[in-house]
Amino acid sequence: MLRVIRIQDVCDKIALSRTSLWRLCKTTDFPRPIQLGGRVAGFLEHEIDAWLEQQAAQRTKAQEVK
């Protein structure tokens, strides 16, 4: 089952402000939001979780190289 989480929940999960979240969406491979209607947007939780796992894996690889 797909779960959609709101923007503030994403900010809390990745510990960034709304401004930083939107900047991240525009400049990297961060998952894109989906429109839920009008001005309301959300993110698919499994995509956010996958992105976080990818970031953690990159950190681990960088530490192994040192």
* Predicted confidence (pLDDT) per residue in 36-56, tens digit: 999 999 999 999 999 999 999
Name the region of 37 (left: φ>0; alpha: ψ -120 to 50; beta: rest): left
Number of other residues whose CB lies within 10 A of the CB of residue 44: 16
Please check whether residue 48 is in contact with residue 32, taking contact to mean a CB–CB distance below 8 angstroms. Answer: no
Whole-structure pTM value: 0.84
Report the percentage of the chain scoring pLDDT > 70.
Answer: 95
**Mean per-residue pLDDT of the chain:** 91
Q: Is a pLDDT exceeding 70 seen at residue 30?
A: yes
What's the pLDDT score for residue 16? 95
Q: Tell me the C-alpha distance between 66 and 51, whole Å.
A: 23
Q: Is a pLDDT exceeding 70 seen at residue 66?
A: no
